[in-house]
């Protein structure tokens, strides 16, 4: 029994002081003053109880040659500490996830290693080379929930249209990477110009949406111009959604200069005007989802002469959202939770992100008043490439429950998740 918390469930419109009863991994009751004599009680007074947070854009690096950066186990522990009960992995592992065999490999590892729910996307093209489509039907049957050549655009309009027609047949979205990142390593001026081509790729892909009726989800939107095109598509009623990352709505290109390698990311940090446009788009619901693009790298790589792109985020995302969006009034708490729960679930057509009787008991309990300082040395992730190190934040997840089992309690990770009554009895105190 989760007792006396402020239950916020955007899908059902609930925002009230209620009890939540969990049994056999499912939600069995949501009501005031539920009487269940044999239940272990978690006192959630003065806390917020929400659907388990969902991050639909993470890089956990496994399987493949980059497991020294992160693994499914370490990434899932980091996610749990940040309040996430569900994550969706990108397919740009080495080698990439571009076949049913490799999808199966990821999901099999997750069954034994992940302490949170884990889904995966599949590549759009074989090897992410932009030349030949993967077998989308086989990928969907194996469990892929979306397709993307993360890190690379599909430059051929014919190929992206063919992918969209197939994806529409099987009811999954395309999550395109909208910039010419294949040009990295050429002349700097050329690279900079193509890193600003995000909006033009989005404009092109919206034409594809219009022609094929395939759902497109635009990851890590970073430019004001991109938002203009997405807003127009939504006004047309086209099936498009979009996401923003915490670093793109808090940091500017000037911050990148001051912070250094840990702020080198793709898409790059933009101007103050772009940051304000993203915050407004979040407020206006043009941007539907907040996702981290959690991308860990080894310390020595980030400190090298050519640091790779990427920022880690699953352990800081909620705190950044609460401190820099909710507290200033840019988003209501309900809207923020919506963008981190039900909206990503809807974008990917997965049955998560809501508190409803009969649903899996994926629950996050949040202390809005918990003040803390980001310290990368306390992270569960292998990565330390965090631009927010040392920041003071207000608001933090204090408990993460996945399928009715506690995976994080006040910063302590339970791996494997616990149902041990001796441990659970300790939770009758206010968390």
In a domain, 354, yes or no: no
Single residue among 284, 319, 348 that ends a domain in this structure: 348
Q: Domain range spanning residue 262?
A: 52-348
pLDDT tens for each residue of 62-95: 999 999 999 999 999 999 999 999 999 999 999 9
Give, rounded to a whole angstrom, the gap between the first and last alpha carbons of the chain: 13
pLDDT at residue number 356: 96
Kindly state the tokens that stand for 362. 């994926």
> How many whole angstroms from its chain centre is CA 206?
23
Q: Strands, DSSP E only, in 36-136?
A: 42-43, 48-51, 53-58, 84-89, 117-120
The residues that bridge with 294 in the sheet, in sequence order, are: 58, 311
Over residues 173-195, mean pLDDT: 63
According to the model, what pLDDT value does residue 37 have?
Answer: 85
Task: Return the pLDDT at 182.
Answer: 55
Q: Is 255 a catalytic residue?
A: no
Contact, 13 vs 332, CB < 8 A?
no
Q: What is the number of domains present in the chain? A: 2
Residue 282: both structure tokens together: 């979040």
Strands 84-89 and 42-43: unpaired
Q: What is the pLDDT of residue 413?
A: 96
On whether residue 338 sits in a domain, the answer given is yes
- The answer to whether residues 32 and 113 belong to one domain is no
- Let me know whether 148 and 258 are in one domain: yes
Q: Which residues contact 166 (CB under 8 A, 6 or more apart)?
A: 133, 136, 137
Q: Which CATH number fits the domain that encloses residue 183?
A: 3.20.20.140
| 56/136 same-domain check | yes
The residue length of the chain stands at: 431
CA proximity to 77, closest of 68, 85, 65, 89: 85
User: Is the same domain home to 231 and 310?
Assistant: yes
Q: How much is the pLDDT for 189? A: 47
Look at 420 and 232; give whichever has higher pLDDT. 232
Residue 62 within any structural domain of the chain: yes
- Asked if 298 and 400 sit in the same domain, the reply is no
In-domain check, residue 367: yes
In whole angstroms, give the CA distance from residue 391 to residue 380: 18
- Which among 55, 274, 293, 367 is annotated as catalytic? 293
Q: How far is CA 327 from the centre of its chain?
A: 21
Tokens 């009960």 belong to residue:
85
Domain assignment present for 353:
no
Note whether 17 and 130 are same-domain residues.
Answer: no
Q: Look up residue 131 and give its two tokens.
A: 């030349």
Q: What is the mean pLDDT of the chain?
A: 93
């Amino acid at each position: 029994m989760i007792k006396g918390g402020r239950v916020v469930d955007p899908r059902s419109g609930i925002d009230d002081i209620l009890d939540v009863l969990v049994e056999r991994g499912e939600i069995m009751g949501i009501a005031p003053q539920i009487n269940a004599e044999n239940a272990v009680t978690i006192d959630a007074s003065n806390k917020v109880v929400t659907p388990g947070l969902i991050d639909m854009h993470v890089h956990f690096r496994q399987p493949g040659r980059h497991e020294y950066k992160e693994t499914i186990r370490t990434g899932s522990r980091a996610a749990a500490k940040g309040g996430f009960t569900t994550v969706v992995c990108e397919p740009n592992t080495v080698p990439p996830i571009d076949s049913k065999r490799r999808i199966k490999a990821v999901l099999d590892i997750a069954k034994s290693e992940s302490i949170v729910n884990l889904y995966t996307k599949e590549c759009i093209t074989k090897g992410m080379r932009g030349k030949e489509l993967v077998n989308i039907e086989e990928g969907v049957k194996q469990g892929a929930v979306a397709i993307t050549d993360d890190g690379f655009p599909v430059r051929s309009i014919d190929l992206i249209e063919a992918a969209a027609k197939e994806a529409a047949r099987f009811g999954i979205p395309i999550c395109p990477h909208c910039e010419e990142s294949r040009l990295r390593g050429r002349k700097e001026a050329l690279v900079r110009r193509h890193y600003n081509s995000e909006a033009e790729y989005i404009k092109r892909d919206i034409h594809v949406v219009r022609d094929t009726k395939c759902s497109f989800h635009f990851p890590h939107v970073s430019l004001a111009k991109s938002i203009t095109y997405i807003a127009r598509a939504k006004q047309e009623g086209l099936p498009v959604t979009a996401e923003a990352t915490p670093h793109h709505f808090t940091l500017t290109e000037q911050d990148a200069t001051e912070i250094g390698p840990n702020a080198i990311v793709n898409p790059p940090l933009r101007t103050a005007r772009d940051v304000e446009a993203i915050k407004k788009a979040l407020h206006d619901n043009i941007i539907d989802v907040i996702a981290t693009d959690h991308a860990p790298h080894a310390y020595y790589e980030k400190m090298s002469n050519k640091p790779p792109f990427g920022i880690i985020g699953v352990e800081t995302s909620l705190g950044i959202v609460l401190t820099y969006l909710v507290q200033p009034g840019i988003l209501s708490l309900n809207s923020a939770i919506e963008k981190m729960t039900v909206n990503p679930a809807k974008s990917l057509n997965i049955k998560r992100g809501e508190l409803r009787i009969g649903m899996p008991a994926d629950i996050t309990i949040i202390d809005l008043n918990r003040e803390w300082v980001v310290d990368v040395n306390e992270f569960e992730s292998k990565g330390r490439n965090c631009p927010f190190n040392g920041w003071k934040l207000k608001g933090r997840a204090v408990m993460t429950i996945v399928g009715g089992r506690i995976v994080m309690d006040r910063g302590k990770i339970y791996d494997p998740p616990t149902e041990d009554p001796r441990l659970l009895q300790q939770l009758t105190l206010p968390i």
